[in-house]
Amino acid sequence: MTQTARYTADSRDRVRDAVDMVALVSTRTELRRAGANSYFGRCPFHDERTASLHVSPDEKLYHCFGCSESGDPFKFVMQTEGVDFRGALESLAGRFGVTLQTEEEDPAAAAARQRRERLYSLLDRAATYYARCLWEAREAADAREHLLARGFSEEILREFRIGYAPSAWDRILVATRQAGYGDEELLAAGLAQRSRSRPGSVYDFFRAKIMFPTADARGRVRGFGGRTMEGGRMPKYINTPDGELYHKREVLYGIELARSAAAKAGRMILVEGYTDVLALHQAGIRNAAGIMGTSLTAEQVRELARLVGVVEICLDADRAGQDAALRAAQVAGSAGLELRVVPLPPGSDPGEVISGEGVDGLRRRMAESVPFVMFVVRLVLDRAELSSAEGKDRAFAELRSVLAPLPASALRDELIKLVAGALELSPARLATLLSNDREQSTIVPGGRVAVDPTVRAERSFLAMCVAAPEAGAAALASLDPGQAFTSAPLRRAALHLRGQLESPLAELPADDDELARSVADLVARAGRGGPVTADQLEHARLLLELACVERALARASSEHQPGITDLARRRQQVLDAIGAVSGRIEQVI
Ligand code: ZN
């Protein structure tokens, strides 16, 4: 499919010929003449005090002796403005007055391209019309007042082409019909909608709205966000419906104005919503664009990855849709984009932070951005109910999907330590659980499956309870399953077995496969193990109790809690009891 026609090689050469290299580079840095064909200036690609960038106007080349960036005019524009080659070619052609010619295309492709160009110009015309209404129309007085009262300068509002759609039913229709556009084109551009009451007629899609034109990276308007003025039942914003040019998933509001600052900084700040973008740009933070909602789409990630290496999302923990956020992180990671979060105070947006703490306040928060996974892990732990075993299980289940895919790194180690502490596990054990959560085992060299020793002890104790139901019932009753079992499936099995030891497989809930599998496995093990003596059972029970006390000890010493002496004494008692039972078992054998 030919999206856009190729420009001829001759067009490229003519643009290169027309470029004034000194004028072009001078838009980014001040140049000083050093010879007939030689200029120097401070490099726009790295921070420096000396002038390392050399420009040769005749060859139309630049080279930095500091950071080794070099290239021709096209590369210069691509690098400084964050556009692709085609975008650079078009930009230079416009700046230096060259008409580009396209290679011959087939008639269908040519027609499709012409239609798109008409729709683009229709949307641009509409943006100009709405902007004029905002500043000139009497009925836009409230809108103007609202925007200025929110602290936006006329300069920033004009730069973003903020506009106003009048309340009448046909303003954009009339304005664009006069320019030769038909109803079908207005519908395709999302500027009109069909009337339900009067079949065949159309009316303006946006009425009595503050208008935010949404452009692509090349600055072409593709659609609008319209904000309702008065409160009430109407949604606050309506957007152009998805169509030929507008795709909600691709929108990065303000990208056309943020692009070059973002390319230079190597990072893009993402905020939620139109007015936050305006607030940041007005405050001089120009590498900011908007996503509508907290989720970052694959389309947005693709666009951003072309431009920057790091994306920082301003997120307030209250609003972070965790699932959406997680998907975003996965998408970004797979595109090689580093995703960081600028944590905001609960319930606030970047605009509010600026008005409350000033731009410096927001900059300070930006300097404290954290890797995305770190943000999510903290969020899950904050929300989890870590006082109960079930709460810990839920937190683990959520965190597993975050932690398990992380490659080995210092960050992963740090996160595992953080989570292990919160879940009261040793980091090594947590790493084991992450490597295979279902079987709770790891593959050791040679391909054998090694079960975690703690889990093995828990499992063999339960199997013994099943094998010796009478003594088992007493042993089970003496333990608190929430404390004694680290394995979630075994803990659930233990809860089921209390009161069911005589016939463990009876009364299993029909809809709980996991529980059924665990209990079935224990019954099978009990059958294989032969008769169990009271001492063997007690020995197994004491091992669980020892592990339990040791976990409590680890927790207490890491949190400097009192009661360590008591726990240490208890540990010694259990060890003594184990010694005594072991002695009896050995005598029998
Ligand atoms: Zn340089």
Domain boundaries of the chain, sorted by first residue: 9-95, 107-246, 255-368, 375-449, 453-588
Distance 70 CA to ligand 1 centre (A): 9
Any residues with CB less than 8 A from the CB of 254 and at least 6 apart, and which?
A: 160, 277, 278, 281, 288, 289, 290
Q: C-alpha 478: how far from its chain's center?
A: 47
Distance 263 CA to ligand 1 centre (A): 14
Q: What phi and psi values does residue 193 have, to the nearest 5 degrees?
A: -135, 160
Distance 270 CA to ligand 1 centre (A): 27
Ion ligand 1, residue ranges at CB < 5 A: 43, 45-46, 64, 66-67
Q: In the chain, count H helices and then E strands.
A: 25, 18
Burial of 394 per CB tally in 10 Å (0-12, 13-18, 19+): middle
Write down the architecture of domain 255-368 according to CATH. 3-Layer(aba) Sandwich (3.40)
Q: What's the topology of domain 107-246? A: DNA primase DNAg catalytic core, N-terminal domain (3.90.980)
Q: C-alpha 323: how far from its chain's center?
A: 10
d(CA 494, CA 479): 10
Q: Kindly report the pTM of this predicted structure.
A: 0.62
Q: C-alpha 257: how far from its chain's center?
A: 22
- Same fold yes or no, 107-246 and 255-368: no
Distance 67 CA to ligand 1 centre (A): 4
Structure confidence at residue 438 (pLDDT): 42
Distance 8 CA to ligand 1 centre (A): 32
Distance 25 CA to ligand 1 centre (A): 13
Distance 54 CA to ligand 1 centre (A): 10
Helix 389-403 to helix 410-423 angle (10° resolution) is: 170
Distance 45 CA to ligand 1 centre (A): 5
Distance 339 CA to ligand 1 centre (A): 26
Distance 79 CA to ligand 1 centre (A): 12
d(CA 297, CA 315): 16
Distance 84 CA to ligand 1 centre (A): 21
Distance 66 CA to ligand 1 centre (A): 5
Structure confidence at residue 320 (pLDDT): 57
Distance 264 CA to ligand 1 centre (A): 12
> Contact at 8 Å (CB) between 36 and 56?
no
Per-residue model confidence as pLDDT tens for the chain (589 residues): 345 678 888 899 999 999 999 999 998 899 999 888 899 999 988 888 888 899 999 999 999 888 888 999 999 999 888 888 999 999 999 889 898 888 877 788 788 888 999 999 999 999 999 999 999 999 999 999 999 999 999 999 999 999 999 999 899 999 888 889 999 999 999 999 998 888 888 999 999 999 999 999 888 999 999 999 876 566 688 999 999 999 998 999 999 999 888 988 889 999 988 999 999 999 999 999 998 766 788 889 888 988 888 999 887 766 555 555 666 777 777 777 888 988 888 778 888 899 899 999 999 999 999 888 888 888 888 888 888 777 777 787 778 777 877 777 888 889 999 998 888 877 877 777 676 434 444 434 443 445 677 888 899 999 999 888 889 999 999 988 888 998 888 999 999 998 888 877 777 777 777 787 788 778 777 776 678 888 889 999 999 999 998 888 888 877 777 778 888 899 899 999 988 888 887 665 4
Distance 325 CA to ligand 1 centre (A): 36
Distance 46 CA to ligand 1 centre (A): 5
Distance 71 CA to ligand 1 centre (A): 12
Distance 48 CA to ligand 1 centre (A): 8
Any residues with CB less than 8 A from the CB of 110 and at least 6 apart, and which?
A: 5
Residue 202 is encoded by which pair of tokens? 């159309």
DSSP for residue 440: T
β-strand 288-291 against 267-272: which pairing, if any? parallel
Distance 440 CA to ligand 1 centre (A): 52
Distance 42 CA to ligand 1 centre (A): 8
Distance 492 CA to ligand 1 centre (A): 62
Distance 268 CA to ligand 1 centre (A): 21
Distance 26 CA to ligand 1 centre (A): 15
Write down the architecture of domain 9-95 according to CATH. Alpha-Beta Complex (3.90)
Distance 41 CA to ligand 1 centre (A): 10
